[in-house]
Amino acid sequence: MLSDNPKLTRRKRRRMILACYSAAFLLATVAVYLLHFRHVSVFRLGGYFPLLLSFIIVLGGLRLGGPVRPFSRRIGAAAANQPLIQLRLGSRKHPPDETFLDERDIAIGDHVHCLAMSILRCATFLFVLALWASAVFHHPAWLPVVAGIGSFLLFVAAMSLPQGIILRAEPDPVPEPSAQIAGVPQ
């Protein structure tokens, strides 16, 4: 499921994921400070979302070019059928092995989405429970803060969790043995 990049080892991938989620939590903390202590409106923080989309794009999965190959077979098929002659206005031609998903890739992609949905289901259940409890307690003052931050973190998780699981769990590819024929002296 990973694109062919030998420099991106498992340790580097895990650090990348850690950095992305740390950044998201840092942004959420700043948002809590601005909302709760500076009384800034939730959607004054709308500039966060392009920032989030940028780091989601960096992870791949939804588009070509990231460390995770796109989950959708349509993206791969469209890239494989692109014309041979290109104007090369910024986009590079992706090799077929970067766009083609075999059975194992599809199975991994589906299973990762199943795992991500299970995690998000628990998180959403807790979030919904918190919303419901706060509504029962007559809409306390912290409800907009909790709702805004919860939506923010759920949005981050929903956009990046499958890619994050793959980047964290996929092992490093085993290097192929050197091409030597048995019995033939080098």
Residues of this chain that bind another protein (CB under 8 A): 35, 41-44, 46, 49, 71-72, 107, 109-111, 113-114, 116-118, 120-121, 124-125, 128-129, 131-132, 135-136, 139, 143-144, 147-148, 151, 155, 158-159, 162
- Joined together, the tokens standing for residue 141 give 């003052």
CA distance 39 to 142: 11
Strand partners, 2: 68
Q: What is the dihedral of CA 46, 20, 148, 34, to 10 degrees?
A: -70
The nearer residue to another protein, 4 or 132, going by C-beta atoms, is 132
Q: Nearest approach, Cβ of 110 to another protein (angstroms)? A: 3
Q: Which one, 93 or 119, has the nearer CB to another protein?
A: 119
Q: How far is the CB of 46 from another protein (least distance, A)?
A: 5
3-state helix, strand, coil in the chain (%, to 5): 65, 0, 35
Give min distance, CB of 13 to another protein, in A. Answer: 21
Nearer to another protein, 40 or 86 (CB): 40
Q: Which is nearer to another protein, 95 or 140 (CB)?
A: 140
Cβ distance to another protein smaller for residue 93 or 139: 139
How far, in Å, are 131, 184, 185 from residue 179 at the CA level?
Answer: 61, 11, 12
**Among 55, 157, 70, which residue's Cα sits nearest to residue 116?**
157
Q: How far is the CB of 159 from another protein (least distance, A)?
A: 7
